[in-house]
Amino acid sequence: MTVEELSARTGVSVRNIRAYQTAGLMPPPRLQGRLGLYDAEHQGKLELIRDLRQQGFRLEAIKGMLEKTPEGAWGEYSLISELFSTTFFTVEAPKRKGINEMAANWDTKATPEQKERLARNGLYRPVGEDEVEMLSPALERIGIQLAELNVPLDTVLDLQDELIKHTRAIAKAYVEQLFLELLKAITSSQPASSDKGSPAAKLAPDPNVVGAMKGLFERLRPLAIGSVSAAFPVVLQQEFDRAIQKQQKKRS
């Protein structure tokens, strides 16, 4: 297919397709004279990039993921991304709220710098000039309670940034060492399609494989989330004890 046809099938603009090629995320098309032609592998890879971008991943992060994805598996991984997309691991429904309405809990208005921090940290999706979609409303409820304890807004944002930084590292380890490895094992066991000439056949995994993926991930999801909840109180106590001991040594 031409780049225009690829764009129409995936909903990705021609400009972005070429930008992804320049960034090394997609291989160049096969040339037929001066005409560049794309195939089902290009489409599957582009759909995966598109889905990851919609979930908030930056190009550098996507490039790292693609480098670890087996060649020829782009179609399967795109469908997997669709199956386990924006809500599979979440436990709350997103909630819209004005940024200044959130800042009002601290009896102030949000500064441009604070608004930028919210837009950058990944837990708040901007939907307007002064409105965001909170991907974890529970964190806002915690923030309100911290405001009631007179914890400054900037301190709350600092803590939130640290929380995101470290939980993202944990999530990345789970994804790369557990979920992707299991996906590779499951998809590699899928028999090859007999209809090799059909792009649709190349992109459609066996229903039994899809069922196995969903069943396995349904069991793994609470284990991954629960492990963080289980470990954090222990580590919090250890860090508190270390901090107290350090202060005692300073006084002595």
Distance CA 202, CA 74 (A): 10
pLDDT at 191: 55
Mean pLDDT, residues 116-132 taken together: 84
Query: Looking at the predicted structure, is the pLDDT value of residue 171 above 50?
Result: yes
Round to whole Å and give the CA distance between 36 and 21.
Answer: 13
- The phi and psi torsions of 2 (rounded to 5 degrees) equal -80, 170
Half-sphere exposure of 206 (CA within 13 A, CB side): 12
Identify the residue whose tokens are 């349904």.
Answer: 218
pLDDT at 213 (0 to 100) = 74
Residue 131 neighbours by CB under 8 Å, 6+ apart: 96, 97, 98, 99
Nearest to 121, CA basis, from 110, 136, 107? 136
Q: Give tens-digit pLDDT for 197-237.
A: 444 444 455 666 667 777 888 888 888 889 999 999 999 99
For range 127-141, the mean pLDDT: 88
> In terms of pLDDT, which residue wins out, 20 or 186?
20
Instruction: Give residue 15's pLDDT band: very low, low, confident or very high (50, 70, 90).
Output: very high
pLDDT over 90, % of the chain:
36
What is the predicted pLDDT for the residue at 60? 82
